[in-house]
Structures are given as C-alpha cells and as structure tokens.
Chain A
Amino acid sequence: MSALSPLDVAGAGAWRGAGDGAAPGGPPTRPRSMLRSLLRDPLGAAGLAVLVIIVVGCAAAPLVAPYSPYASAFTSELSGPTGAHWLGTDELGRDILSRLLYGGQTTLLAAALATAIAVVIGTALGVLGGYLLGLTDRVLTLWGDLLLTIPVLVILIVVVSVFPNSLYPAMLPLGLLLSAAPMRVIRSVTMGIREDLYIDAARVSGLSHWRIMRRHVLPRITGPIVVQATLVASVAVLLACGLAFLGFGVQVPAPSWGTMVAEAASQYQQQPWFLVPTGGIIALTVLSLGLVGDALRDAVTGQWTGSTRTAARYRRPPAAAPAAPELTEGAPAREPGALLVVRDLAVTLPGPSGGTPLVSGVSFDLVPGRTLAIAGESGCGKSVTARALLGVAPPGGWITGSVRLDGAELAGAREAQWRGVRGRRIAFIGQEPMAGLDPTQTVGSALAEVIRAYARCGRREARDRAIHLLRRVSLDDPARVARLYPHQISGGMAQRVTIARALAGDPEILVADEPTTALDVTIQAGILALLRSLQMSSQIALLIVTHDWGVVAGLADDVLVMYAGQAVETAPAQDVFGQPRHPYTEALLRSDPHAATPGAALPVIAGTVPAPGQWPSGCRFADRCGYATPDCTAAEPSLAEAAPGHDARCIHADRVGVTR
C-alpha cells in the first residue's frame, strides 16, 4: 500500500540502476520493422490506411472519379449529397467528389515535391553538421537559423505571384525553407549517435568516416527521417492549400483543394454542406499523416514501456492487512533502543500472480548513533529497500510489511502522513549529488525552502539557518555558496549541500543511498568523515546503502547483505568481514582484488544474478553456490541464527568458511 502522489510518473527515471541489467531494446531501423511497428499501433495503422486510400484515389483519378472535373450540369447546382453525386455538386453543377480527386493530384504532388526537397536537403546538412561538428556545424546551424527567420507564407506569396498559374515553382523555395526543421532534428540525432562509444571503436578499427556514417549513422536516422517527412508533408499540404485559397497558383477552372474551400465559402448561404468535404479532405489527409508520424515516433524512440504496460494490465490485489508486527518466524529479535523497526518489508511491482516482488521479507532495526550498511550488488533491491523507508515505491509498485517509527506504524500510511515524516524524522540523500538539486534554484534558496516547509519562520531567519547548515557541513564561505547555482559547484560540494538539506528538518534517521559512488576517492573520504562526525554529534541513526566493502568497513556498525531481493546475512560489521556465514557474502568478499595476490586469478562466482520475476524456487543462490546440496533447492531457507547476533539465510551456514 504505497502512497500515491501526483508526482508518480510511469517511466524508468530515477529507478534505473547501474551495472548489470538488460538495457531496453534498440529502435527498429529497417523499413520492414518500422512498418511492422506502425501497423501494430491501431491509430497508426488507421492513419496509414486512410493516407493510402487518399493518395491512390487521387493518383488514379481518371480511373476512379465518376465524372470529369469540368463537367457542369446546370440542373443540379449546389446539391447536397445525392445518389448521383456522393459529395454533392458545386455552383456550376460539377461533381465535388471528382473535383476533389483531380484537385488532390495538384495539391499532393506539390506537397510531395516540397517534402522531398526539404527532407533531402535537411538530412544531408543535418548529418554533415552533426557528424563533422566544429566549424562546419556552426556554419550550418547559422544557415538553419537564418532559414527559420524567413517568413514562409509571405515569401511563397511573392514567389507564386511571379508564376501565377502553377503551384510547383513555389514548392522549391518552400522545400528549402522547410528543410530547416528536419535539419535540426537530424543534426541532434546524429550528434547523439556520434557520442556513442561504438563510433569511437569503429574509428579505432580504422573505418573511414563514410563507412561509419553508412554503417552506424544512417540506419539509426531512417526512423527520424520518416517522422520528419510526415511533419514536413503536413505543413506543405496546409501551405499549398492556403496559397490556393488565397487565389494563388491555380488557374480557374482547374480544381484544387484550397480553391474549392474558397468557392465553398462564397457559396455558403446557398449550400453550407459544400464546406464539409472540401475542408474535410484537407483535414483528413493531414490528420492521417500526423497519426502515422506519431506512431512511428513512438516506435523509433524506443521508449521504456515496461512499467506502463504491465501496470495497465495488472491491478494491485485488494489491500491485505499489514503483517503483524510481532516476531515472525526467523525474524531477528528486536534490538534494545531501536528507533525504527522494519519487519518483513516487501516491495512489489504489478505483474502476473499477485505481482513481481523486487524485495521480500527484509527485516532490521535502526538504533540512534549506530550505522547499518545494506551491502550487495546491482539488482539486489538495496536501493528499493532504502526508498521504501520513506514510503516511496517504484512507479506502479506498492510496499507491504511493517515499518514502525517510535512504535507508530508507517507502512500503509497515506501520502499526507508520509509527508510529515519525510525530512522531519527520516531524511534521504541520493547517489547523484548534482542531479538531486533543482538546477534553476540557488543553493541557499533550496535550503531556505525546505527550512520554511518544516518550521514556520520568516525569510531572513530561513536564510540564516541555511547558511548555518552550510557551515555545519564544512563548506567554506557559506554565504557565497548560498548564492550559487548547482552548475557552479563541484560534485563534492553538491553532495554536502544535499546533506545540509537532509539535516534541515533535524531528522533522527538518515538514509543514504550510495552517497559517494559518483564522487572521486579523495572527495569521498571527506563526505564519509562528515557523515560520521554528524552522526557522532547528533546521534542520528544512519542507514547507508553501498556496493563498496571499503565504505562498509569504515562506517558500518552492522551489516545487512542482500541478494536477489532478500536479506541473506545480518551481523555486526566485524563478524561479516571476519567470518561470513553465507556463501554469497564469503564469495563476494573473496572476489575483491584488495584481498588477492596481484596478478593471480581471482576466485569468482560463476553465473549471473537472477532478475526479479525469475528468482529460482528454494535458495536463490543455490545454482551459483559451492556448498549447495539438493536440500537447498527444495525449500526457501529462512533467516536463522548462525552465531550470536549473526543471522544467515543458509542451511549450511555452519560449513561456510570452515575450510579457510
């Protein structure tokens, strides 16, 4: 029962972890696969169908149209839809349907011409600028900016007045002017590709620029090119019709969509219906182009669709009662003086058979003045666990179990209740220091904002408190730093600011999720020392999530090791390093190069970590474990005491490390 918030957005975002994990699929690049993804989208398929019908109908007008576009019948002027004239007749008795079909030829051909020119020029220049960069790119960007400044319709009108009887000459400058937009898009896509390391690898392998462009760049831009083409075509159709409406470029009595709208307008009193098919065909054509473009864009951008789709398909099971907070089987005994008591914490995502658990059955206590480290590798669920302590679950997911703060049950609380806890009693600092700060807000203002959110105080007082906080995290010249924006400070400083913000509400618990992973080693040492000294001075209970055993060694009083969503070992830090009781912990510590002889092969754990939803039954580590026996896969082991104060989820805990 996780609290829902308007801030929850379906998408990977902050939940993407580093390290081992299958990346989302690459976008379709071949025409056939593009077509396939297009047809899979119902709107896209409908758009494509309508577009094809219109284009084919107009192209085959001599064969398909029931009448000649010039055949007037003075007996049935301005009739509405009838059996003989499906779309009615105009003021000279000519069949509207036939005139639309013939008129489409001019309009669509003109638009196609402009689109072709725009796309070819735009793609060529965009690729050149985006790949070669430097001076070429600057000149081309300038050129694009210039093009975009020219008022399109005005120039077109001027050009078309030179060649009054045809739209086509105006399509050349139109194509040129419209090339600016695809050029920009293709350029930025190319620049993105250019930064990918496989381009560098290809250069190191001695491939020429042309070869690289053909092999790597062009296939990736076919998608965006087609999308841009639909956009440009839409604008071209609208502009061509606009010109014709104004009376330019078409010679009466030749039919054209734009002129027919003008005719309909003048005949409005007598036959209002006339406006409908004439405007409608334009709208339908542009709409279908747009739907095709939209569908392709979704396919080509390769969005992370995982959570949205499953969230839609599976609904949360009806709220079950939270697990009883008394001792469940195998849970560690309650620590004396524990401030936060967590029992059987589970975080689940929507999925088949009640959901896909990311974390299950995690229990621990947090004691003021002591540090608990949650250690493990990517995908073990440590970050998810840490965030769950603040009531934040991954998008679509929910939290079950018991989280008691000073005796009060938090799990199942509503968002409003959680807000009273966050920052004020439990504070959080994340991994990326810079990313955690609003780039449009100065450091001082960010701090003052949270200060005023927690306690009623005036602006001046909040500023003073902010500066005091900055001093507390050992930042030199705090008054100056307060006036800076995040992009003006270093990573280490930004992390200190984040810590300052976390301290603003005077919390009792601080949850730190990989706080130093993104920092240099010398900066890291400073941040860890800071956390330690803060803890010593305010007796904060610190929960630190990390994959670095050196950080665990320095900071942790107690350690909880996680593997595949479960706690597999909990013990005081000394005991975990000295005598690990779970085969995974032992193997992990041994594969650390710190412990090994230089140049020698390291003892490794064979295989890979199972992903959530694919956890094996029984012991989740059994298939990679050197101590495994058939009993291990029979039933899931519970967290049992292996030594005083030392629990391990392994039936062979007594054998671990004995051979050393």
Chain B
Amino acid sequence: MLRYLLRRLLLSVPLLFGVSILTFIVVALVPGDPAVRILGAGHTAAEYQAADARLGLTEPLLVQYWHWLDGVLHGSLGTSLFTIQSVSSTIAQRLPVTVWLIVGATLVSLVAGVALGIASAVWRGPLGRGIDAASWVTFAVPNFWLGLILIEFIAVKAHLLPTSGFVPLGQSSSLWLRSLILPVLTLAAVGVTGVAKQTRDAMDEVRSREFVTALRMAGLPAWTILLRHALRNAAIPIVTTVGLFMIAMLGGTILVEQVFALPGMGSLVVQAATDRDLPVIEGVVLYFTLIVIVLNLLVDLSYAWLNPKVRVAS
C-alpha cells in the first residue's frame, strides 16, 4: 500500500510541471502588453519597453520560465506584476478562505448526503423520489444563481445572515461562521444530493449481496447489518463520489467567491486573468493543482483504509 501511494505521489510531480508549462505558454500567448495596463495609457513606446524590461518580459519564453522555475524551487513564486506584493504572500492571505469553503462544503455534503442516502435506502417511496428530483434540480441550477437567490431570500429579505464579505476566524468566530454559512450551502447543494443519491444506490447494491442475506439468516438485527456491514461496503463508491464532488467544488469556489465577494483564491485568479498578471496566475494554478493532488491522495488513502484488499496483500 505504501508503494501504491508513493507511486501516486511521484506521478504528481511531472503533472505539476506539465500544468505550469501549459499555463505559461497559454498566458504568454496573450495579446496586449501588461506594461500598458500597469502604467496606463499615454506613455511613450520607450517607456513601455523599459517597463517590460524591468519586469523581465522581454526575455525569451524559455528563459522566463526557467527564472520562474528557479524561483519556485527556492520557495518563491515571484512577484505580482501589478501589486508588487509577493505572490506567495498574496496566496497565503487568500488560501484560507478557499480552504474553509471546500472543507465546509465537503463536511456538509458528506454528513447530510450520507444520512439522507441511508434514510432513502431504508424508507423507500417519496423520500427516494424526492432525492432523485432534488439531485437533478441542484445539479441543473447554476451555483452562482443559487447563491444570488439565497442572498436575496435569507440575507436581504430575512436579514438572517450577511449578504457578502468574509470575517477571518481570528477576528470573531461567530461572525466568521455566519459569513461562511450561505457560501458553503451554495457550494454544497449539489454535493448533498449527489452524495445522497450515490449512497442510496451503493446501499441498494450492497444489500442485494449474498453476505447481507447470510447475516440476516444468522439472526443479526437489521440496523446492525445496515450500518455496520452494508455501509462499510458501500463506503468506497461513496468516497469516490465525495472525492469527485470535492474537485468539482474547487471550480465552484471561483464562482461562489465572486457572488459573495469573498477574498479567496477564486476571486484572485479572476482578477489576475483580467489583468494578465502572469506570476499570480502561475502561482494560483500551481496551488489549485496541488489542492487537487492532495484531495486525490486523501481519497486514495481512504480507499486503502476501507478496502482490506488494498491494505493487506492476499
């Protein structure tokens, strides 16, 4: 098992390289001159040229990439073309927001989704059909639109929660929580129903397996079989689904942060893309990829823990 995980880790390294090279090339293709953006209009060509040279943008692409790579290997992601701030510190400021969003949404999806799924597997009928319907509706409704609706009804009309903005945990834990509730719910909506549906399907599949009948024949109580045995066996497809949703939610944070004006990585990348701020874009892409890799590894780790065949060689 250790070898399996090590292999996955090793494969991630070339991936990070690949993604960074790809991003570099793509952004370098961007027409337009960042210097114009920075200095504003109405300067001479020579001044723009000088600005470009200072920013290192006149050198060949490969050299630029090498400089950046060299920086990364020394722990620095470079400096923003626009704010003079180091990319690493910008990301460090923004990362917690995104992480809270993902962690919160994952927890909500997992807990609510699994509970609903088990409930609908046991008490069939309207609950099951309701979940099917809800899962399609939450998938179909764009999350940015859902966020807007939630803001309108809960924040504006009912004044229950703030409409936007983020309060850091250090400042006030209750305000922090309140600022996260609506965004997390928006992000988790599709996850809850998707996980519920997958849980229900996985439980149904496990329940039709021979060992469940055998345990019933042995006289074990139904709920013990359901929760201790069926759920454990259904856990793997459920975890797979949660993993997929986590990665999808990563993209979702970009939209949700826009709607709720949260200063996270998502809104950072939107701004950087508009500004053609290459170092920031590179840094954000790197971090997003890293997060995906970490999430995948977590999923793989849980497979290994859940599935004895992976844990113990036969």
Q: Does A430 interact with chain B (Cβ within 8 Å)? A: yes
A618 smallest CB distance to B (angstroms)? 35
B254 with A438: CB separation less than 8 A = no
B211 with A438: CB separation less than 8 A = yes
B102 smallest CB distance to A (angstroms)? 12
Contacts of B26 in A (CB 8 A): 158-159, 162
Q: Does B18 interact with chain A (Cβ within 8 Å)? A: yes
Contacts of B281 in A (CB 8 A): 158
A151 with B288: CB separation less than 8 A = yes
Q: Mark B69-91, 1 if CB is under 8 A from A, else 0.
A: 00000000000000000000000
Q: Mark A1-45, 1 if CB is under 8 A from B, else 0.
A: 000011101011110000000000000000000000000000000
Q: Does B122 interact with chain A (Cβ within 8 Å)? A: yes
Contacts of B314 in A (CB 8 A): 487-488
Contacts of A418 in B (CB 8 A): 219
A283 with B214: CB separation less than 8 A = no
Most B CB atoms within 10 A — which of A160, A390, A421? Answer: A390
Contacts of A283 in B (CB 8 A): 137, 140-142, 145
Q: Mark A128-164, 1 if CB is under 8 A from B, else 0.
A: 0000000000000010011011111111011111100
Q: Does B51 interact with chain A (Cβ within 8 Å)? A: no
Contacts of A191 in B (CB 8 A): none
A430 to B217, CA, bound (A): 10
Most A CB atoms within 10 A — which of B27, B142, B289? Answer: B142
A51 smallest CB distance to B (angstroms)? 12
A501 to B218, CA, bound (A): 8
B97 smallest CB distance to A (angstroms)? 16
Q: Does A189 interact with chain B (Cβ within 8 Å)? A: no
Contacts of B220 in A (CB 8 A): 419, 423, 449-450, 453
Contacts of A287 in B (CB 8 A): 136-137, 140
Q: Does A422 interact with chain B (Cβ within 8 Å)? A: yes
Q: Which of A7, A150, A421 contacts B219 (CB 8 A)?
A: A421
Contacts of A241 in B (CB 8 A): 142
Q: Mark A389-409, 1 if CB is under 8 A from B, else 0.
A: 010100000000000000000
Q: Which of A149, A157, A291, A450 contacts B218 (CB 8 A)?
A: A450
Q: Which of A275, A294, A439 contacts B148 (CB 8 A)?
A: A275
Q: Does B154 interact with chain A (Cβ within 8 Å)? A: no
A256 to B269, CA, bound (A): 22
Q: Does A492 interact with chain B (Cβ within 8 Å)? A: no
A101 smallest CB distance to B (angstroms)? 19
A149 to B15, CA, bound (A): 8
In the complex, chain B residues 200-224 whose Cβ is within 8 Å of any chain A Cβ: 204, 207-224
Assuming the contacts A149-B293, A437-B211, asked whether A158 and B139 have C-beta atoms less than 8 A apart, the reply is: no
Q: Mark B108-140, 1 if CB is under 8 A from A, else 0.
A: 000000000000001000000000000011011
A471 smallest CB distance to B (angstroms)? 20
Q: Does B49 interact with chain A (Cβ within 8 Å)? A: no
Contacts of B306 in A (CB 8 A): 440
A316 smallest CB distance to B (angstroms)? 17
A485 with B308: CB separation less than 8 A = yes
Assuming the contacts A392-B217, A422-B217, A441-B229, asked whether A234 and B254 have C-beta atoms less than 8 A apart, the reply is: no
A427 to B218, CA, bound (A): 6
Assuming the contacts A151-B292, A155-B285, asked whether A7 and B225 have C-beta atoms less than 8 A apart, the reply is: yes
Q: Which of A157, A279, A432 contacts B141 (CB 8 A)?
A: A279
Binds A, one of B36-44, B55-63, B171-179, B270-278: B270-278
12 A-B pairs, CB-CB below 8 angstroms? A13-B213, A14-B209, A14-B210, A151-B288, A151-B291, A159-B26, A162-B27, A246-B254, A265-B148, A291-B136, A440-B308, A449-B220
10 shortest interchain CB distances as A-B pairs: A13-B208, A422-B219, A153-B251, A423-B219, A279-B145, A286-B140, A435-B210, A287-B140, A151-B288, A428-B217
A-B contact sample (15 more), CB < 8 A, given A13-B210, A234-B140, A424-B219? A149-B292, A150-B19, A161-B274, A242-B144, A275-B152, A283-B140, A423-B219, A435-B211, A439-B233, A440-B306, A440-B308, A453-B218, A485-B308, A485-B312, A498-B214
